[in-house]
Amino acid sequence: MQLKGKNIYLRPLTEADATETYVSWMNDPQVNQYLESRFKKFTIGDIRSYITEINKDLNNVFFAMISIDGDKHIGNIKLGPINQYHRIGDIGLIIGDKTCWGKGYATEAIGLLKDYAFNKLNLHKLTAGCYADNIGSAKAFLKVGFVEEARLASHFRRNDDKYVDKICLGMINPAEATK
């Protein structure tokens, strides 16, 4: 299965995607500064097990982000956990290849996954959360149609020990917006 956009496409990850490059994204302090995964040092074995486990889990959908120009794995985007009763799911993403930042790829990936979640999985609502100073992340979600639903004051401790707000973003399926 593939979700195809203009500059990137999304496809499921396999264990073959657990490369040294992927490991280096997870351990890069610039890439992981806003991720809760940053407190652990990853190995290729960790990544391989994560892919295996998440692919077995029906409440998570995990996609590789591939740039169409060069057919290169540049990051990942996850929908999950999905709560099947409430029909809601959380989105998280990482563009590990820093040369690909600021090119609209996050906006495109979130847009593709949002369409899949609403039109194919028939979800009611999507959520996401980010550190308030992760401007690129917040903006990408807002551009796709998410709104800021709440701001949790002084919620996350950054690596420099300063506290920042958490922005809680959400988007209701437009076809169900009145429910």
Give residues in contact with ligand COA (CB under 6 A): 31, 34-35, 75, 93-95, 101-107, 130, 134-137, 139-140
User: Residue number with the shortest CB distance to ligand COA?
Assistant: 136
Q: Which is nearer to ligand COA, 112 or 178 (CB)?
A: 112
140/37 Cα distance (integer angstroms) = 21
Least CB distance to ligand COA at residue 129 (A): 7
Q: Which is nearer to ligand COA, 96 or 125 (CB)?
A: 96
Which position has the token pair 């950054």?
158
Q: Which is nearer to ligand COA, 88 or 95 (CB)?
A: 95
Radius of gyration of the chain (CA): 16
Least CB distance to ligand COA at residue 103 (A): 5
Residue 81: cis peptide before it, omega within 30 degrees of 0: yes
Phi and psi at 73, nearest 5°, equal -75, 115
Least CB distance to ligand COA at residue 104 (A): 4
Q: Which two tokens stand for residue 133?
A: 């100073």
38/26 Cα distance (integer angstroms) = 7
Q: Which is nearer to ligand COA, 98 or 176 (CB)?
A: 98
Least CB distance to ligand COA at residue 60 (A): 16
Task: Name residue 168's beta-bridge partners.
Answer: 129, 150
